[in-house]
Amino acid sequence: MSEENDWKRKYRDSVLELESEERRWRHLERALRRLVNRLCAAGAGVQARLDEDLAAVAAANRRDADAEELERLTVALAETITTVDRALPVGGVGGPPWRATHAAAGLLIERVCESFRDEPETEGLREALQRAGTDGALAAILERAAALVAKRGDALALERSQVSAILAQVGTRLDELASYFDSASEATRSSLEATQSLNANVSEQVREMSRGTHAATDLRALRAVVDAGLRSVNQFVSDFRERESARLSAQSTRSERMRGRIADLENETRDLQRKLSAERQIARVDSLTGVANRKAFDERLAQAIAGVRRDAQPCTLLIWDIDNFKSVNDRYGHRAGDLVIQTVAKGLAGAIRATDFLARIGGEEFAVVMSALRVQAALSVAEQLRGTVAALKFHFRGAPVPITASCGLTEIGIADTAESVYERADAALYRAKNGGRNRCEAA
C-alpha cells in the first residue's frame, strides 16, 4: 500500500508541477499581450493600412486568438511596416518613453528566447528587436513572442491532461482489482456457507435414516428407508458439486480476466514510471548545454546542506561566470554566445569528478557542488578548472575567441541555508571579477 501511495504521490506531484509551469507561461503570455495592445494603440494614426493591421492584431489579442492566426497577422503587419518605412518625427522613437518600452520589451523577449532555445521560431527575435524602429514593428515582434508562449502553454496543458488521463486509467484498474478481491472474498464466504449447508443436510438425513431404521419392522422397510436416505444424500452432494463447479468456473474466468488486468496495470505503471522519469529529466536539464539546470541545482544544494548537517562531511560550492560574455554577444552575436556557453559547459563537465555536480544556473553562470572537499582543497581544483576553461580552443567564423572564467567558492557550514551559502560564493565571485577576472576567490 505504501508503494501504491508513493507512486500516486509522485504522479500527482507531476501534474501539479505541470499546472504550475502552465500558469507561469500563461502569465507571461498575458503580459506580452498587454504590451502588444499598448503598442498597437501607440502606433495608431501613422498610416491607414498600418492602422488596419494594428487594429486586427489588437482584436485578435483581445479574443485570445490561437498561434496560427497570430502568426498570420504578424507576418501581414511586418510586411505593412516594411512598406510604410516612415521617417519618425523628432521626439518619437529614441525618446525616454520609447526607450523604456523598448527596454521592457527586450526583457520579455530575452526571457522568451532563453526558455525556447530549441524552438526555430526564436531565431531572429533578438535581431528583429534591435532593428525595430516603430511601435508597430515592436508590436509585431511581441506578437510572435506571445504566439510562442501560447504554444508552450497549450503543450503543457495537453501534457497535464495526458498525465491526468493516465492516472485516472490506472485508478480504474485499481478499482477493478479491489472489486475482484471483494468478489473473491464473497465467493469464499458463499462456498463456506454452501459447505456448512451440505454438512447440515447430510447430518439431518443421517439422523432421519437412523430414526427410520429404528422404526422399520422388517428388512424391506429398512431397505426402503436406507435407499431413500442415500438418494437424498446423493442429491445434496450432487447439487453441492454442481454449485461449486459453477462457482469455480466463474472464479476461474474472473481470475483469468484479472490476470490480464494486472498485466495491463503493470505495463501502464512501467509506462508511467518511464514518462515521469523522462519528464523529471527534461525539467531538470538545461536545453542549451545538456547539464543540470537551476531547478536541479536548487535541489542538489538543499541535499548537500542536509548532508553536511547530518554527516558533518565537508562540501564546497563553486559559482562560475564567463568573463566578458556581453562583449562576445555584442561583437559576434547571440549565436556565438550560445556556442561559448556550450563550450564552457562541456569543458567543465569533462574536468570535474564523477561525484561532483555541475549546473547552469542562468545566462553565463555555472555552479559546481563538490562533496567531500574542504574549501582549500576545492580551491586547488577550481584553479585547475579555470586553467581548463582558459585552454579551450574556440573559434567563430574562423576567428579565435578567447574564453576565460572567474570563480567564487565557499564551504557549506552546518548553520548555512541555500541563500547564505550562495551569497558567500557570489560575493567571492564578485571579488574575483573585480580583481582582474580569470581568477578564483574563496570565502
pLDDT of residue 274: 79
- Report the relative pairing of strands 365-371 and 395-396 from DSSP bridges: unpaired
**Residue position matching grid coordinates 541555500:** 418
Q: Is the pLDDT of residue 230 over 90?
A: no
Q: Are 351 and 293 in contact (CB under 8 A)?
A: no
Distance CA 41, CA 96 (A): 18
Res 119: pLDDT: 62
What's the average model confidence in pLDDT over 309-331? Answer: 94
- Residue 393 has a pLDDT of 85
Is it the case that residue 111 has pLDDT exceeding 80? no
pLDDT in tens, 58-99: 677 667 666 666 667 766 766 676 665 544 443 444 455 555
Mean pLDDT of 350-376: 95
**pLDDT at res. 40:** 60
pLDDT attached to residue 89: 45
pLDDT in tens, 13-55: 666 766 776 676 666 566 556 556 555 655 555 566 766 776 7
What DSSP designation does 285 have?
B
pLDDT for 217: 66
The predicted-structure confidence for 183-203, as pLDDT tens digits, reads as follows 766 767 777 777 777 777 777
In the chain, % of residues over pLDDT 90: 30
Q: What mean pLDDT comes out for the span 350-368? A: 95
Highest mean pLDDT among 34-38, 94-98, 251-255, 318-322: 318-322
Q: How confident is the model at residue 419 (pLDDT cuts 50, 70, 90)?
A: very high
* pTM for this prediction: 0.54
Residues of the chain with CATH 3.30.70.270: 294-442
For position 91, what pLDDT does the model report? 40
**Which run of H or E residues covers position 395?**
strand 395-396
Query: What is the pLDDT averaged over residues 172-190?
Result: 69
Dist. CA 341–CA 328, nearest whole Å: 11
Task: Please check whether residue 39 is in contact with residue 135, taking contact to mean a CB–CB distance below 8 angstroms.
Answer: yes
Q: Looking at mean pLDDT, say which of 11-20, 74-83, 293-302, 325-334 comes out highest.
A: 293-302
pLDDT for the residue 304: 96
pLDDT in tens, 149-159: 777 777 767 76
User: Which of helix, strand or coil describes residue 134?
Assistant: coil
Confidence of residue 143 (pLDDT cuts 50, 70, 90): confident
Range in 202-211, 301-310, 365-374, 429-438 the model is least confident about: 202-211
CB 410 within 8 A of CB 317: yes
Closest CA to 14 of 302, 284, 305, 287: 284
Q: How confident is the model at residue 178 (pLDDT cuts 50, 70, 90)?
A: low
Higher pLDDT, 45 or 264: 264
395-416: per-residue pLDDT in tens? Answer: 888 889 999 999 999 999 999 9
The pLDDT of residue 148 is 76
pLDDT for 24: 64
CATH for 294-442 (3.30.365.10, 3.30.70.270, 3.20.20.30, 3.40.50.300): 3.30.70.270
Asked whether the predicted pLDDT for residue 303 surpasses 90, the reply is: yes
| Mean pLDDT (whole number) for 247-270 | 77
Whole-number mean pLDDT of the chain? Answer: 78
Amino acid at 153: G
- The answer to whether residue 244 scores a pLDDT higher than 90 is no
User: 52-56: long-range contacts at Cβ-Cβ below 8 A with a sequence spacing of 24 or more?
Assistant: 53/77, 53/80, 53/136, 54/136, 54/139
Q: Mean of the pLDDT values across residues 348-372?
A: 95
Residue of 333, 337, 336 lying closest to 322 (CA atoms): 337
Q: DSSP for 206-222?
A: HHHHHHHHHH--SHHHH
Predicted pLDDT at 92? 44
